[in-house]
Every structure is written in C-alpha cells, then in structure tokens.
Amino acid sequence: MAKLRLLLLLLPFSFFAQEKSHYNIHKFRQLKQELATPNSEHTASGAPGHDYKQQQVDYVMDIVLEEQTNKLTGTETITYHNNSDDTLEYLWVQLDQNKRSINSKTEVISSDKAPHLLSPKDFSKKYIHPFDGGFNITSVIDSEENSLNYKVNYTMMRIQLPRPLKSGDSFIFTIDWWYNINNFVEHGGRSGFEHFPKDGNNLYIIAQFFPRLAVYNNVEGWQNQQFWGRSEWALEFGNYDVSITVPADHILDGTGKLINRKEVFTSKELKRYKKATENYTNPVLIVSQDEVVKKEKRKTSKTKTWKLKAENVRDFAFASSRKFIFDAMAVDINGKRVMAHSLYPKEGNPLWEKHSTKSIEIALKTYSDYTFDYPYHKAISVHAKNQGMEYPMICWNRGRPNEDGSYSDRIKRKMISVIIHEVGHNFFPMIVNSDERQWTWMDEGLNSFIQYFAEQNLEKGYPSKRGPAHKIVGYMSGDQSKIAPIMSKGDDTYQFASNAYAKPATALHILRNIVMGPELFDHAFKTYSNRWKFKHPTPADFFRTMEDASAMDLDWFWRGWFYTTDFVDIGIKEVKSYTFTATENKENAVARKEIKFDANLVSNQLLSNTLYNKNNATNTIPNFAYEIEFIKPGGLIMPIIVKYIFTDNSSERIVYPAEVWRKNEFKFIKTYTSHKQLKQIVIDPQLESADVDTSNNYWPSQNSTKFERFKNN
C-alpha cells in the first residue's frame, strides 16, 4: 500500500518536471542565471558603474642581471593603494617563478611515462640535478624596516599586514629576491635565456620575474589561484620605476619610457634613433648586424644601468642581449607618434629586418581602428626562439630562418602572424585588463578576432589561420568528450588553442558578419573596448555591452557558442514547388502544385498604385512559389543564409534571422515566391556559418543531381 501511494504522488510531479526541463533547455532563454547579478561596479548595461573602483600597485625596482651565473636579483619597493571599500588583513603576491622550483607542484601533477632511453644530459637533468629556478625570498620588510610575516603557498605568498589596511589607505613594503634564470629552450617557459653555442652569447627575455600583487576586487575577492604553468595572469594597474643593470655592451628594451637614453646609447646610436623618430615609412637601423658581430666577440665585463618608467601599466618585462640588432620607425596613430622597435639576433635575419617592424605597424593601426588609439609611446617586438608572448609595450616572437638564412613562406607568415598577435595583446589584456587566469578567451579570443583584420590589411587574401568560419568546423564537429565550452577555465580545457583562440575569434566573426552586421557589431565592440580600457572587465560586461550598444538580444548566441559545445548544422529537408495561376473561381483557391489567385483583385490593386506601369508589373507579380522545410540537426541556433539561384543564373541572397527557430528549433517552413523559376537553393554557399555538414545544404540535393546527370547520360 505504501508503495502505491508513493507512485500516485510522484506521477504529477514527474509530469511537471518534464515540462519545466523543456523550458530549461529553451535556447532563447535569457542568461540571467549564468551571469553575475549586476551591481553599481559592473552594471546591467555592461558598463563600469558609478561605484567602480580598482586597486593600484606601484613598483620601484632595482634589478641586476648577472650573465656569468645567469642569476637575476631584485629589490622592489611596492606601494599598495587600497581603493576598495574593504579593510584588508593581508595581501597576496604572485611568485610565478616557483613553478620552476625544485618542489614544483606542476611537475608533480603532470603524468609521465617511464622513458625508454635517456641521454646522460637528460638523465642528469631529470634525476640527479633538476634545475632549481624558484624564487629565493631574502627579505620582506615594511617602510620602517620591520620584518613582515609571510607564508608562501607554491606560487602565491600571503603577506600579513601589521595592522589592517583600511579603505583609502596605502601600505609600503620591500621584497628582496633572487632566482636562477632558466634556459627557456631547454626547460621551456615564457621567460629566461637562449644560449647560442657558436658565439657563446645569451639572449634574455625576462618576464614574471618579480613578486607581483594579485588582483583584489568584488568579482573574485583575491584572485589567488595558483599559476600551474599555462593559464595566465590577473594583474593590477600601477606605475613602475625600474633600473636594470646588465653587461655594458647589451641592448635592452622593456615596458616604459627609457629615461636615460643618453647614458646607455652611444652618440651614433642616439643620432640614428632620432632619425628613426622622423621616419614613418621604413625602419632605421640603430644597431647594425656588423656592429653586433663585433660585440659578440669582445664581450665586456663592465655594466650599465638602464632606467625605465611606466605609468598605468599592469606588468613589466624586458629583453637584453649584446646579440640584439635594433631597428625602429615611427608610426602615425591618428596624429600621434608611436615608435615601433624590433630587437633580434643575426640568427633572425634576413627575415626580421624585413618584416618585424612593419608587422608592428600594421597591428597598431588595425587594432586602433577597431578599438581605441594605441595609448603607449612604443611597441617592441623581440625575436625569441619558439616564443609568442605578450607584456605591456613588449612581446617575444618566434620565426627563425634556416642557418643559411633561407626560409619558407610558411615560416615568414607564422612570424608575421605571431608579431601581429602579440602586439595586439597590448589592447587585450594589457589595456582592457581581463582576468586571464579565469577567462582565456577574453584576451586570446578577442585578440585573435582582430588579428584577422590586421593580416588582411597587410595583404588581401592573407592565409589567416583563424577567423574564417569554415576553419573551425574540424574542431567543432570533433569528439565531444575532448571539447569544452569556451566559458571554461583555461587550465581545465582540452584543445586549448581551438577552445580559447580559434572558436571565440570565429564566433565573433560570425556574429559580426551574419548576425549583427559590421556596423552594429563594430560600434558595440568599440563601446566595450572604450568602456573597459584601463579597467577589469568580466565576461558579463562583454556580453551585456554588445547587446546594450546594438539593441540586439544575443543571449541565444552567447549561450550556444560560449556555454555549450554544440555545432552548426542547417539543411533543407523538402521543397514543394507551386505556380501561380489566375482564376475567377475563388472556391478553388489552392491546388497541388498550383496556387490560384483572383486576377481581377490583383490587377485592381496594381492599378490603384500610381507608380504602376505595365512593364514592371510582369516583374512584380510572382509566378512561382516554393515552400521550403529547413531543418536544424545541429544544436546551435543560427541564422539561415540562403542563396536562391534562378534558371537564368541570377540569384538572391536572404539571411533569415536566428529568431526563426524560436518556436521550433528543429524545423522552419518558409514560402519563397518569385517571378522567375528557381534552379537551385543553397544554404550557406560561402561557408560563413561553420556548418559541419553541407551535404544537406542543397535543393535539389547534390546526390540526386549527380544521379540525374548520370541517368541523362
């Protein structure tokens, strides 16, 4: 009895649950549950609100790079401005170099199979003398030189404040540290040095090299998720005053204005640099290859200190080597001069002297067009083997010719593309400062989206790797167990590059081309960029701004493309053809293959139109009607792009908005009328929608056409 009663009670509930779940899977329902509740900092419009605030962290640093020992030593005084409404008990500092410590947890969690064979060098590296590149923190003191309590938890360090830091107050403290610089060619990483055995010199690209404050805000609290080696950073804006001591024959460049150029440049270099600032057409050599070859042999033991100052940047990086050839030119950004610098060893030539600085130029101009004018005074591209990595004003880029200086077209284009991409990162995330640790797509996806325009501006038809819709089909139609939604944390995703670079970039191109149209899209995208430059946006700020500035409900698009792994597949199931036939008898309205209309009524209507003339009438009265049943086997909601091709080979393109799927997401019936007879109907003929199966895109279906041809022959 008890069982029966339970069953009876359950029945109505389960019916209710089914109905509810049907509503829950409705693809046009709003994203209210997925997005954070708007507030006075991150508003419902997607703009920063009247209460918006962010912390500021200023750094004064003295850095010494010892070439003999490959040791980097630093003293940094940090001023932490608590602009939040909250009182803080401690500060979290990022120690990214601890990823290279001897106790690296990243090594512990990475699975490895027992190797079959190891060289003595690799055996030693793995089992006897593993490289220790972690931070050695030698002192943490406050401004009165009292030691501060701190606790290191892998790549994070908690600094206990002597007294709680109130809203509006600042705290000044100093950290002394050193670490062994890794050889990035041998040990990997996005910072370190490359050794060139032929001439015995090193090339240094130095980043994530100093303890940096984590972001504190009302989105994540402290963004203190560990650095596991892949997912990048969340960083506060601040001012930097940095002195870097390196061998005297090095050329160094980094984030910020070089404030002692007269002390570190020779008089010849100063003259050439001045010439470069006046040259807007071609790069000017400041340090030539011949001069570099001489320096490589001499190797000085003296040192020089380079001083750089930067305002309102979220990070600092530098590159240094006596191997650096250096060229520069001026770029005009809407009347403002920006310097484009390239630093590369002779091993990068002749590729680099031809293409690096010019690639910076096209990136700065294109990105400025789609967002806001590049606000910094320079952008630097540094040659570094196998690298592609970005910092404010400076980036590392791959692209090395063969030893004899020859290179394939592929190597050249890869180099140009990576320079455009990394220079582009100045906009996302260096200026539009999103949280990279959490949302890889917010910088990589938006950046890759504009990268496509820059490549096409450089050369029409440039073979861009990412952007065109059809290039994402392989990924989106692949094994679902190896695909994660774009809205996943970078460390947790599969197929990282497709997930966080290619798919969001392609999604935005599709959104621009076939959903919003360039005019509405570009205005909304610019609105987002300008609202959030020098601030910290979240995904919701992007989604909301794109809708806020365009009057388009795009929740279905974000939901499908960003929150699911669904793909696009739209097809034609059936087409019924009719012809219009004039009739006096209204009773006999519709017959199969025939639509009858009242000829008197139509001609009366046409006659009442003053613009009517007889010749036009034959073109306006439809003769044919086609009732088309569109189907959508793919999960993604998308507009239907249709090309109607007539027997005289003329055609018409119609894009039916995504809303056609509102009431029934599996089929949509539309009757198309024309005065000319149709020969063919094709869905997405130019492959603009990432449709994964085009075999159902044709009427008559391609197979039957082939069969008919066979039969006729």
Q: Which residue, 58 or 444, is less far from Zn ion as judged by CB?
A: 444
Q: Which residue, 368 or 397, is less far from Zn ion as judged by CB?
A: 397
- What is the secondary structure of 291-304 as a DSSP string? HHHHHHHH----EE
Surface-to-core class of residue 189, CB atoms within 10 Å of its CB (0-12 exposed, 13-18 middle, 19+ buried): buried
- State the virtual CA torsion across 305, 309, 314, 316 in degrees, nearest 10: -10
Q: Which residue, 442 or 660, is less far from Zn ion as judged by CB?
A: 442
Q: Which residue, 323 or 509, is less far from Zn ion as judged by CB?
A: 509
Q: How far apart are the first and last CA of the chain?
A: 75
- What whole-number distance in Å separates Cα of residue 403 and Cα of residue 143? 53
Q: Which residue, 449 or 644, is less far from Zn ion as judged by CB?
A: 449
- What whole-number distance in Å separates Cα of residue 165 and Cα of residue 171? 7
> For residue 16, what are the contacts with CB-CB under 8 A and spacing of at least 6?
none
The residue type at 632: K
As measured in angstroms, the least distance from the Cβ of 475 to Zn ion is: 17
- What whole-number distance in Å separates Cα of residue 378 and Cα of residue 201? 27
As measured in angstroms, the least distance from the Cβ of 208 to Zn ion is: 15
Considering only residues 160 to 199 of the shown chain, the ones binding Zn ion according to CB under 5 A are none
As measured in angstroms, the least distance from the Cβ of 429 to Zn ion is: 9
The residues pairing with 380 across neighbouring beta strands, listed in sequence order, are 341, 394
Q: Which residue, 135 or 525, is less far from Zn ion as judged by CB?
A: 525
As measured in angstroms, the least distance from the Cβ of 36 to Zn ion is: 25
As measured in angstroms, the least distance from the Cβ of 484 to Zn ion is: 18
Cis before 429 (ω within 30): yes
As measured in angstroms, the least distance from the Cβ of 232 to Zn ion is: 9
E strands along 68-135, which residues?
71-81, 88-94
Helix (H) or strand (E) holding 171: strand 170-180
Sign of CA dihedral 315, 174, 158, 245: positive
Of all residues in this chain, which one has the CB nearest to Zn ion in the complex? 444
Q: Which residue, 67 or 444, is less far from Zn ion as judged by CB?
A: 444
Cis before 120 (ω within 30): no
Q: Which residue, 236 or 444, is less far from Zn ion as judged by CB?
A: 444
As measured in angstroms, the least distance from the Cβ of 378 to Zn ion is: 20
Q: Which residue, 444 or 566, is less far from Zn ion as judged by CB?
A: 444
Q: Which residue, 361 or 444, is less far from Zn ion as judged by CB?
A: 444
Surface-to-core class of residue 213, CB atoms within 10 Å of its CB (0-12 exposed, 13-18 middle, 19+ buried): buried
As measured in angstroms, the least distance from the Cβ of 93 to Zn ion is: 25
> For residue 109, what are the contacts with CB-CB under 8 A and spacing of at least 6?
228
Considering only residues 304 to 363 of the shown chain, the ones binding Zn ion according to CB under 5 A are none
Token look-up 């609105």 returns 527
As measured in angstroms, the least distance from the Cβ of 390 to Zn ion is: 6
As measured in angstroms, the least distance from the Cβ of 503 to Zn ion is: 14
Per the CB < 8 A criterion, the answer to whether 175 and 135 are in contact is no
The residues pairing with 680 across neighbouring beta strands, listed in sequence order, are 645
- What whole-number distance in Å separates Cα of residue 665 and Cα of residue 646? 29
As measured in angstroms, the least distance from the Cβ of 418 to Zn ion is: 9
As measured in angstroms, the least distance from the Cβ of 428 to Zn ion is: 9
As measured in angstroms, the least distance from the Cβ of 450 to Zn ion is: 12
Q: Which residue, 446 or 473, is less far from Zn ion as judged by CB?
A: 446
- What is the secondary structure of 454-494 as a DSSP string? HHHHHSTT---SSSSGGGGHHHHTS-GGG---SSS-GGG-S
Give the HSE-up count for residue 457: Cα atoms under 13 Å, Cβ half-sphere: 19
As measured in angstroms, the least distance from the Cβ of 389 to Zn ion is: 8
154: left (phi > 0), else alpha (psi -120 to 50), else beta?
left
Both tokens of 76, joined, read: 């940094």
* C-alpha R_g of the chain: 31
Give the binding-site size for Zn ion (rule: CB under 5 A): 1
- What is the secondary structure of 314-365 as a DSSP string? S---EEEETT-EEEEEEEEETTEEEEEEEEE-GGGTTHHHHHHHHHHHHHHH
Neighbours of 253 (CB within 10 A): 23
As measured in angstroms, the least distance from the Cβ of 686 to Zn ion is: 28
Q: Which residue, 195 or 230, is less far from Zn ion as judged by CB?
A: 230
Contact string 26-65 vs Zn ion (x = CB under 5 A): ----------------------------------------
- What whole-number distance in Å separates Cα of residue 483 and Cα of residue 493? 8
Q: Which residue, 383 or 544, is less far from Zn ion as judged by CB?
A: 383
Q: Which residue, 134 or 504, is less far from Zn ion as judged by CB?
A: 504
Considering only residues 408 to 467 of the shown chain, the ones binding Zn ion according to CB under 5 A are 444
> For residue 6, what are the contacts with CB-CB under 8 A and spacing of at least 6?
none
Q: Which residue, 356 or 696, is less far from Zn ion as judged by CB?
A: 356
Q: Which residue, 352 or 391, is less far from Zn ion as judged by CB?
A: 391
As measured in angstroms, the least distance from the Cβ of 447 to Zn ion is: 6
- What is the secondary structure of 561-624 as a DSSP string? HHH----B--EEEEEEEEEEEEES-TTS-EETTEEEEEHHHHHHHHHHSTT--HHHHHHHS--E
Per the CB < 8 A criterion, the answer to whether 148 and 91 are in contact is no
As measured in angstroms, the least distance from the Cβ of 397 to Zn ion is: 11
Q: Which residue, 444 or 548, is less far from Zn ion as judged by CB?
A: 444
Q: Which residues are near Zn ion by CB under 5 A?
A: 444
